[in-house]
Amino acid sequence: MNLSSLLISVVLAAESIISPLGDGSVLGVTNESFPRISFQEITARVNQTVADGVKNSGLGRLTSLIAGTGTISATIIPGQVALVQTRITKKPTMTIAAIGDSMIDTLGPDLPHLRDALKNVYPDTTFTMLNYGVGGTNIDYGLERLLKDYTYEGKQFPALVSTNPDLVIVESFAYNPYSYDTGALTQHWLSLAFMIDTLRANVPTAKIAIAATIAPDKNTFGDGAPGLSYNPEDKYKKTRIFHSYLENTIRFAQSQRLPLADVYHASMDSTGNGRAIYINPGDHIHYSDEGRRLFAAKVTETIVENRLLE
């Protein structure tokens, strides 16, 4: 196989790949760092590969292809090439705030998994990532944090609107619901609407996306969490409520035509139960590392598909 035909086969292979942003799969985010190289260097390595007789592997495995427009960068390690089609944000620096309960809080300071997923798509952008999650609080306190400064775990936070974010991600608050009385889901719906209206009135230039977090596991919920002990019936009742609030959030986003990061359905198994791989094995409530990566992937997918930063 000569160099020309090998390069043609790589192009055809790349064109046949469907973007992972379209099928709900987890993006290939990795902590490993490989040197970026020029196309000329790739060509030189291809020549060497052909010379060495490794003819039936092409350029190796194409591991990542994110749809969009922008500059194409390439990374290579022995036997592998990753092509990433990058995009450009409307400003060189972008501020993203995420608000919710502990399902946002436990994504970590500066939302590192989401930041890294976004940097993979927008490598030339400097991101300021703001975590406005507070554990154990429902959506009413989320509304308050939009407009008022607050203290959480010894740290002072300014009112969210004062940070003038370019994008706000509003999570469901489903894991800290109202009591499950008649009208509770309606109140949750109205509170989501009030939150959106508040953001639009105070930060009119900001884009808004809704996120529905991972599904709970009715069989293990709360196992290992300090101070919690649920019998099987309690686990079923609690997780059923969470499902109701997550589905309420999704219906709200769809009815208001708001961009939706549906992590909820992406995290389910075939029976509708939360998959263990995405749930922290220590408390069986919050995210595992795979769960954080899934959340970051689905939010990034929503941002890209709706051009929220472009």
Per-residue pLDDT at 239 exceeds 60: yes
**Exposed / middle / buried, residue 70 (Cβ in 10 Å: 0-12, 13-18, 19+):** middle
pLDDT of amino acid 179 = 79
Structural domain of residue 65, as residue ranges? 3-85
One domain for residues 100 and 248: yes
Total domains in the chain come to 2
42-46, 212-216, 278-282: least confidently modelled range: 42-46
Residue 144 lies in a domain: yes
Q: Which residues contact 297 (CB under 8 A, 6 or more apart)?
A: 20, 25, 26, 27, 29, 117
State whether 68 and 134 are in the same domain. Answer: no
Domain boundary residue, one of 85, 118, 143: 85
Residue 83 is predicted with a pLDDT of: 52
Same domain, 143 and 34: no
Residue 139: closest CA among 169, 100, 167: 100
d(CA 172, CA 159): 19
- Give yes or no for residue 6 having a pLDDT over 60: no
In the predicted structure, residue 57 carries a pLDDT above the cut 70: no
C-alpha dist (Å) from residue 185 to 5, 61, 192, 216: 60, 47, 11, 18
Rounded to whole angstroms, the Cα distance separating 250 from 170 reads 12
Question: What backbone phi and psi angles, to 5 degrees, belong to 80?
Answer: -150, 140
If asked whether residues 56 and 205 sit together in one domain, one would say no
CA angle centred on 253, ends 249 and 259, rounded to 5°: 125
The verdict on 148 and 296 lying in the same domain is: yes
Nearest Cα to 171, choosing from 13, 298, 39, 43? 298
Which of the residue ranges 41-55, 208-222, 232-246 would you say has the lowest mean pLDDT? 41-55
Backbone angles phi and psi of 209, in degrees to 5: -130, 150
Q: Is residue 198 part of a domain?
A: yes
Confirm whether 58 is domain-assigned.
yes
HSE (side-chain half, CA atoms, 13 Å) at 206: 25
Look at residue 241 and tell me if it is in a domain: yes
> The pTM is what?
0.74
Regarding whether 293 and 219 lie in a shared domain, the answer is yes
Predicted local distance difference test score (pLDDT) of residue 85 = 76
Q: Is residue 269 part of a domain?
A: yes
* Residue % of the chain over a pLDDT of 70: 73
| pLDDT at residue 177 tops 80 | yes
| Mean pLDDT computed over 302-308 | 98
Q: Position 185: which residue type?
A: L
**Last residue of some domain: 85, 120, 141?**
85
Read off the CATH number of the domain in which 202 is found.
3.40.50.1110
Residue 136 lies in a domain: yes
**CA gap 72, 34 in Å, rounded:** 16
Are 79 and 100 within one domain?
Answer: no
Task: Point out the least confidently predicted range of 12-21, 161-170, 216-225.
Answer: 12-21
Residues 130, 185: one domain? yes
Binned at pLDDT 50, 70 and 90, residue 84 comes out as low
Arithmetic mean of pLDDT over the chain: 81
Q: Looking at the domain assignment, is residue 310 inside a domain?
A: no
Choose one of 34, 54, 85: the last residue of a domain: 85
Same domain, 141 and 188: yes
Q: Is the pLDDT of residue 19 over 60?
A: no
Evaluate whether residue 130 is within a structural domain: yes
Does 255 lie in the same domain as 106? yes
Confidence of residue 181 (pLDDT cuts 50, 70, 90): confident
* Residues 99, 81 share a domain: no
Question: In terms of domains, do 98 and 245 share one?
Answer: yes
Q: Averaged over 112-118, what is the pLDDT?
A: 98
Candidate from 71-85, 105-119, 155-169 with smallest mean pLDDT: 71-85
